[in-house]
C-alpha cells in the first residue's frame, strides 16, 4: 500500500486540470511514474538503463496508426531518447504534461502516454533487485554496490607515480608547438 504524497496529489490534479473538460470523450489518462528520480543521467543506472532499453526500443517501434498490415503509409517510431527522458523527468505522465514539457501536439503526446503505459509493467518486472529495493524502501541495501568489480592490483608506488608524472609533463606541449 502506498502512502499519500501531497506533491504527487498536486501534480496529478494539475495534470488533470491542464486539459479543459468537455464532459464527453474518453477520460484523461494519467500515469504515476514510478521511475521518476530513479533513472536518468545523474543516477547509478545512467541515461539509458540497460534493463529498460530493449523494452523501450521495442515499444517505440510499434505501429501507432492502427492501420491494417500491408496498407499504405509509413509509421515512424517514437523517440527512445524521449521515452527515457519522460521516465526520468516527469513525476506524472499525461498528455498535458508531455505537451508542456516537450512541445508536442496532442496526438503525439497521447502516443507517448500509451507507450509509457505499455512499458510500465515490463519495466517493473525487469528492474534489478537493487532498484526494486530502493524504490520500495527509499534506500539501497547495506551490502549493495553498484559496481561489483573488485580491484586485484596493488596501488602504484610513489616512485612509479613520480616517474609517470615526469613522463606526462610534456604530453600536451607537443601539440601546441605544431
Over residues 63-78, the pLDDT tens digits come to: 766 666 666 667 788 9
What pLDDT, on a 0 to 100 scale, did the predictor assign at position 104? 93
CA-only gyration radius of the chain, Å: 23
- Residue 146 scores a pLDDT above 70: no
DSSP classification of residue 30: E
User: What phi and psi values does residue 47 have, to the nearest 5 degrees?
Assistant: -65, -40
- pLDDT-derived band at 62 (thresholds 50, 70, 90) equals confident
Over residues 17-53, the pLDDT tens digits come to: 555 666 777 788 999 999 998 888 888 888 899 999 9
Residue with grid cell 601546441, as numbered in its chain:
176
Q: What's the pTM value of the predicted model, to 2 decimals? A: 0.66
For residues 83 and 119, the answer to whether their CB atoms sit within 8 Å is yes
Average pLDDT, stretch 156-175?
Answer: 83
Task: Characterise 106 by phi-psi region: left (phi > 0), alpha (psi -120 to 50), beta (else).
Answer: alpha
Task: Name the nearest CA neighbour of 84 among 132, 43, 139.
Answer: 43
Higher pLDDT, 138 or 97: 97
- Residue 2 scores a pLDDT above 80: no
How many CB atoms sit inside 10 A of residue 99's CB?
Answer: 18
What pLDDT, on a 0 to 100 scale, did the predictor assign at position 1? 45
Please give the grid coordinates belonging to residue 85.
527522458
CA–CA distance from 83 to each of 46, 95, 117, 144 (Å)? 14, 13, 11, 28
For residues 99 and 109, the answer to whether their CB atoms sit within 8 Å is yes
Average pLDDT, stretch 145-150?
Answer: 63
How many CB atoms sit inside 10 A of residue 143's CB?
Answer: 5
Amino acid at each position: 500500500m502506498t502512502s499519500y504524497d501531497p506533491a504527487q496529489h498536486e501534480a496529478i490534479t494539475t495534470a488533470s486540470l491542464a486539459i479543459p473538460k468537455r464532459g464527453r470523450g474518453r477520460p484523461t489518462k494519467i500515469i504515476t511514474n514510478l521511475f521518476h528520480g530513479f533513472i536518468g543521467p545523474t543516477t547509478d543506472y545512467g541515461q539509458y538503463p540497460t534493463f529498460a532499453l530493449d523494452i523501450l526500443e521495442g515499444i517505440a517501434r510499434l505501429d501507432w496508426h492502427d492501420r491494417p498490415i500491408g496498407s499504405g503509409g509509413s509509421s515512424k517510431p517514437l523517440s527512445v531518447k524521449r521515452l527515457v527522458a519522460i521516465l526520468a523527468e516527469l513525476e506524472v505522465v499525461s498528455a498535458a504534461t508531455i505537451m508542456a514539457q516537450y512541445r508536442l501536439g496532442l496526438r503525439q503526446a497521447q502516443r507517448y502516454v500509451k507507450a509509457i503505459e505499455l512499458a510500465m509493467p515490463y519495466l517493473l518486472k525487469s528492474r534489478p533487485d537493487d532498484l526494486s529495493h530502493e524504490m520500495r524502501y527509499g534506500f539501497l541495501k547495506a551490502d549493495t554496490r553498484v559496481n561489483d568489480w573488485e580491484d586485484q592490483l596493488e596501488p602504484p608506488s610513489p616512485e612509479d607515480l613520480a616517474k609517470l608524472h615526469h613522463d606526462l609533463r610534456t604530453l600536451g606541449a607537443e601539440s601546441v608547438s605544431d
